[in-house]
Amino acid sequence: MKEQLTVLKNEALAAIAEVSALQALEDLRVRFLGKKGEVTAVLKQMGGLSPEERPAIGQLANELSEKLTEAIAARRAELEALFLDVRLGAEKLDVTIPGTAREVGKQHVLKKTLDEAMEIFIGMGFTIAEGPEVELSANNFDKLNAPEAHPSRDWGDTFYFDQDSQYLLRTQTSPVQVRVMESQKPPIRVVSPGRVYRKDEVDATHSPMFHQIEGLVVDKGITMADLKGTLNALIQQLYGAETQTRFRPHHFPFTEPSCEVDCQCFKCRGAGCAMCKGEGWIELLGAGMVHPNVLRNCGIDPDEYSGFAFGMGLDRMTMMRYNISDLRLIFENDLRFLRQF
Ligand code: DAH
């Protein structure tokens, strides 16, 4: 039996030394030391030994089982360390390899000017209103008090969708005034930026699609002084506190009285230069007191309420602000141009 244990020991130790996978090692443990294992089987035969032999063989068997347990644990530690090394090697990350650069976008120059203007209006308590680009003629012209024969209604100037001239691409942001007054009660204080469309040939200062910002204030007791105060505040925040403004009489169907507002040329400060074409002044926007007919058309009593409105060209504003000489550059999406701002 002694020899049997020695053979078993050599066989087991050789097998353990050779094994190269954790599962195979576990299988060896079961094979030799498990309940039905080979060492256990030898121990079970000890009943057949004489009482003199038993302690010596028992001790040998215990030593063998301890030795094998140790050998298996040592081999397991070895294998685990080996596998960890292999895994760390495979998962190694080289942080010095150059990465793939991501292109970072930029705000469009038009959006920059728009955000600046909106910031100022919001600071003055305005909220932003929106209206559709496909409009009813009724909102774009009729309710805004445009006479039947007004030149802007002409098919040569306006994109209509139907023979009856009922639907069109809005020619101005002013129809948003109608939509706001029909859906909100005064006090009203809104600005509405957006695209507008006219049948213009493309050149350095014209495009069939361009952008306006509309403004509307309606409340009790609103006067021309409120209009001037608001627009002066806007212009001074945009172009500097010392900027002079000039209000010239004008005509718009939807306002009475109407005016055009100029600001002192911010380049030459009024002396006359190429920017202002020698005038010293730059035309900025149209404005006026909302015509009583318009208030009435939108369900607001002109005896109780009054208001002012204004409309300005965002593209023109952007061109002046960033010294852009050709409107087409703003819409052509040439990154070499757009990246400058
Ligand atoms: N809608 C006018 C245009 O496109 C601009 C304008 C002028 C808007 C006077 C207004 C205003 O609200 O009061 O030329």
Distance CA(61)–CA(39), nearest Å, equals 7
CA of 143 to the centre of ligand 1 (A): 14
Q: Is 158 in the pocket of ligand 1 (CB under 6 A)?
A: no
Mean pLDDT of 71-81: 88
Tokens of 138: 């009724």
Q: What mean pLDDT is reported for the chain? A: 92
- pLDDT tens column, 98-112: 989 998 888 999 999
Q: Is 141 in the pocket of ligand 1 (CB under 6 A)?
A: no
Alpha carbon separation from 323 to 91, 114, 317, 341 (Å, rounded): 55, 16, 10, 11
- Per-residue pLDDT at 246 exceeds 90: yes
- pLDDT tens column, 24-38: 888 888 888 888 888
Give, in degrees to the nearest 5, the angle at Cα 302 between 299 and 306: 110
Q: Is 315 in the pocket of ligand 1 (CB under 6 A)?
A: no
Mean pLDDT of 95-124: 93
Nearest Cα to Cα of residue 252 among 175, 178, 131, 145: 145
List the helix and strand counts (H, then E) for the chain: 12, 9
